[in-house]
Every structure is written in structure tokens, then in C-alpha cells.
Amino acid sequence: MPPDRAPYDVVVVGLGLAGLVAGLGAASGGARTLLVGKGHGTLRFRSGTIDVLGYWNDRSLGSPAEGLPAVAAERPNHPYALAGEDLGSGLEAIRTTAGAAGLDLDGSLEANRMVATAAGTLRPTCLAPPTMRADWDGAHVLVVGLAGYRDFQADLVASVLPAAGAKLGLEVEARAATVDLPSLHRHHLSGLELARLFDQSAFRRDLLAALRGTLGGATVVALPAVVGLEHAPEAAADLARQLGVTVAELPTLPPSVPGLRLELAVTAALRRAGARLQVGTFVRAIPQGGRIGWVEIQSPGHPLRVPVGRMVLASGGLASGGLEVRLDGTLRETVAELPVWLPEAAQGALVGRSFLESGGHPVSLAGVQVDGAMRPLGREGSPLYENLFAAGGLLAGADRAVEKSADGICCATGWRAAQEAVA
């Protein structure tokens, strides 16, 4: 079928942050856009913040903007070296989309801020929602656990947080309290169920009544990050107003409620822009000459083939199934069978000797190599397909876990890939 008869101008494979940003870029540029993935993206497993660059060369960065030139100079194949100029546009697309849904992602490339975790540690991030933007220096924190919710241990947070703050030169005091309400007495209480309870004013009234006697001199009330789903901004503001102190959410184990809030905001914006989203299907790219001619979507009975105009591949890395390790220890890209680059250090062993290697694992740098237009490259260094672009966790050259750079890479490369696809 000729390309001019393709039902979509741009097909995005992958529903994580990179795919969603690419979809926003394509749809906002007027392209007929289809986003398809074998499942919901990793936003549901992330904290709901946007990490751009927290560390470089084993050093914590106060400002991503100050660290980005060093990244480009020291690692020319790093995604920021290739698409860093589009980082601001990608971040702004997410910030604007989230803001339209009442989710205020505040911050800038000029400064990282410290956000607390459910383990009581503090980590740097670039953009964060209001309930994670507490001032921890000099804070007197009341860490509130909810009876029946096993994924958040208030005693653990209260014991670790002061020491975590001291390592950063911050004075933090913390104590724990657990609230037991009749509505919490369930066989299994998940974060999503709690978030829906927080959306209800009656539950918040009961919680406020239980908390008022325990505040003492607290200046911050820390709760698991389940303070509402559909009405999260209103729920958090209501609690803070009634308590008269800052309310801070601490991201817990997946599924991530703040990540789900962000995903719902972006997917709603995509649908308003006319994009179509299809979740829960396996996709395979089929070449036709020097192009990707079709995407084959698994469906009941027989696969559905959709002609492709332009395609953005944002299927993720090892954690998302975009890359997989074969039995012989080699890596495979799973959608288009693209070549996978491995650093020399990974030729002997993909991973180090311990789970938490200080310098990361060699396999973390593996992925698909691209040019400045985000076109995947063959072994000889030339673009493989004229209409294929790649973005996000699939790309080689970045150790996202060590750098705390995953979200920023998704925003920068997703936006660049979309702009190239609609050019």
C-alpha cells in the first residue's frame, strides 16, 4: 500500500514517557497519530517527578543545566549530547500538559530540589508536584502511616530521614504516627484504593480528626504518595489548609499514584489532540525497502498490519521489554530487530558482581545508537530506515539509574524524534 494511503502520519510504539512526549509532539504538529504499546508505560512505576540529571561523575548536581555541557563533552553518544537542545521543549510540553490537568510540575533546569522517598532518603529531581516540594532544612516532620497499608512504614521513614538530611547538611527532625480508621479495615489496601479514598471529603475529615491530636510542633506532615487520584490537587490543598502545615507526599512502591496521575493527564491531552491510543498489543515493525512499511499489531484471529508513514520507536530498555537478553548473553531489540550497541566493558560480563554497583552495570549503557535526527544506525554507522526514529530508554549511551536522567532523556529525545517525524 503506498505511503500516502497510510491511515496515520506517525505511529509511536511505546506508551512510556518518551512515547507520550513523542505523541504530544506529533499530534500538536497536526500529524494523524497512533500510539500503541503492549502495556501501560513505566510512568506507573515512577515517582511522578521529572528527573533530568541528578549525578555526574559520582557527584551530586545542584543544577542540571550546569552538568549538561559536561555530559555532551565527555560522552558524545549520550542522548543529551544528541538531543539536549530539545530538552527544554520536551519538559515544557509535559509541564503544560500536566498543568492543564491541575498538576503543577514546578522547577527548572537551573536547580535540582531534594524530594523524600518512602525509604526516608532524599534524592535530587528537576520538576516535582507541589506535595513533594517541602523545605526539609529545619523541618519537624510527622510521618503518618495508614493502618492496613503495607507499602509504607512510617517508623522506617522517621528513623532514616534525619540521617539522610544530615548527609546533605540539612537539619531534620522526624517522628512517626499511625492512623487507624474504620475505612482502612480491608483485607488488602492498595495505593490506588487509598488514593480514591483521599478523593472523598468524608475520608479526609476522618483523617484530619485523627491527626489533629498528634501534630505537636510538626511543620511538615509526610504521607505516602496516595493523596488523591482524580482530585489530587484539591485533596492535598484541603489537608494542608486544614492542618495549617505543609503536606508532603513520599513516593511508595509501584504502582505509583503520582505517576498514574501524570499518565492520565498526558493521555487525556493526546486524545483531545486527536491521537489514538491502543494498549495491550504486541507490535512488530516490518521493513519495506529502505523504509518501515508496516507495523504488525497482534489481534484476535490474525495480526493487523497498519501501513506506516513515519514511525517513532519508544519501546524502552531492558525493564520495559524493548531490549532483551538472549540465552547466549547477547542483546536483542524486540520490535524492529535493530542492532544493539554494547560498551567494551560489557563484552566480558553484562552486569557487575553486586546488585548495587557504585558505577552502575555495563549493560546499562547498552542500546540502539542513533544520529542527531534520532534515526537508528546500522553497524556501519548509517541510518537504517529513512522513516524510523527512536527515543527514550531504548537509546544507548546513558546509565539512567546512576545519573538520575531517565525522564529528561525521554522528554528530550521524544520531542526531537517527533519533530523529525513531522518535518
Give the tens place of pLDDT for each residue, 348-367: 677 666 666 666 677 888 99
The CATH H-level superfamily of 6-101+260-422 is FAD/NAD(P)-binding domain (3.50.50.60)
Report the pLDDT averaged over residues 30-36: 96
Cα–Cα distance between 162 and 141 in angstroms, integer? 10
Considering the entire predicted model, what is its pTM?
Answer: 0.93
H or E, element range at 82: helix 79-83
| Residue ranges of domains in the chain | 6-101+260-422, 118-250
pLDDT digits (tens, 9 = 90+) for 379-401: 899 999 999 999 999 999 999 99
pLDDT score, position 2: 41
3-state helix, strand, coil in the chain (%, to 5): 35, 20, 40
DSSP secondary structure code for residue 166 in this structure: H
Q: Is the pLDDT of residue 3 over 50?
A: no
Secondary structure of residue 64 in the 3-state scheme:
helix
CA 162 to each of CA 30, 139, 153, 158, 224: distance values in angstroms, whole numbers, following the listed order? 50, 10, 15, 7, 18
Cα–Cα distance between 7 and 26 in angstroms, integer? 15
Q: Where does the pLDDT of residue 38 fall: very low under 50, low under 70, confident under 90, or very high at 90 and above?
A: confident
- The number of CA neighbours under 13 Å toward the Cβ of 133 is 16
pLDDT digits (tens, 9 = 90+) for 314-343: 999 998 899 998 888 789 999 999 999 988
Cα–Cα distance between 271 and 264 in angstroms, integer? 11
Q: Is the pLDDT of residue 194 over 70?
A: yes
Q: What is the mean pLDDT of the chain?
A: 92
How does DSSP assign 323-377, residue by residue? EEE-TTS-EEETTT----B--GGGTT-SS-SSTT-TT--GGGG-BB-B-TT--BB
Cα–Cα distance between 108 and 112 in angstroms, integer? 8
pLDDT digits (tens, 9 = 90+) for 124-166: 999 999 899 999 999 999 999 999 898 999 999 999 999 999 9
